[in-house]
Structure 1
Amino acid sequence: MAGWDHEWQEAVHRVTAAFGRLPHPVRLELEEFARGMAAHKEAMQQLVAQVDAAAHCAGCGGACCARGKYHFSAVDLLVYLAAGKPLFAPRFDNGLCPYLGEPECLIPPGYRPFNCITFNCDLIEDQLPREEVSRFYKMEQELAARYAEIRALFPGRSMDGPLL
């Protein structure tokens, strides 16, 4: 656990330093991208809220959260930094996803990692009308493009992949 905390701190420091080196016009562009990404993720969350996705997740105990770990990416952190949001403290001692708190995710919906915001289990997806499922997957493709826009602001592949 101490190792994960240390790795987390190092990764946060690395991305924060890269963010701090951005020229002002690029930082403004990143801030605009971050606002758009957070709004897009919130819209995706609202779409599944139509079928009370949160209740389904609570009912199964968040099984996908128990299995999914370390999806928070450098881009997700950049969105936090650009939005001026205080960063959460992961819980590497819980044996589950380190971003899972009591009783829910430590990350607000607009800032959750790509995998977390785009995954719908069958319980949720089966209750959505077909056109809403199609709209959701179109939104997923648009979200992937938003991640690519932010990664493109940085040299090489320095902001690819998970933070840890």
Structure 2
Amino acid sequence: MRSTAFHPINLGLSNFCTYLLSALFIAGNLILPQLCHLIPDGGRILLPIYFFTLISSYKFGIRIGLLTALLSPLCNSLLFGMPPQAVLPVIMIKSVLLAIFAAGIAHYSKKVSLFHLGLTVLAYQLTGGLAEYILTNSLPMALQDLRIGFPGMIIQIIGGWFILKKLAEYEF
């Protein structure tokens, strides 16, 4: 599975499409977790809150990525109580790190591949785990996503690759 040439788009904050696309990705990050929570421990195993943040940041840049990363967990917590407020800061930190890494890797590589997405997921999980350890002083909590959420990380990499590869075919 080779790299595909990729042209990330970085829309400004004064562009209406920035907010429209952000709203669509936030909606995805509201719906997907609700579906995953139908499975016992589905949220912890599948890590659905990060999926559309990965897609939005990788394809549409840091601004849409950060809007999605910040507003998705907040809206989910306010509307559905998930993630619980106790873990909301960690989820938001990991979401922001994901947006930064995804936008940066897409911008500098100009490619989408399983390797690039794997690097993105690994980078945000490791730095996010470190941040979680600093906040909680609990190594088991910091390693939870790596232990329990491994299927979700694989879905992010393979599902993200598939969607981003399809998006690479279209000019926006």
TM class by shorter-chain length? 0.3 to 0.5
**Which has more radius of gyration?**
1
> Larger % of helix: which?
2
The structure whose RCO (Cα within 8 Å, separation 6+) is larger is 1
TM-score normalised by L of structure 1? 0.33
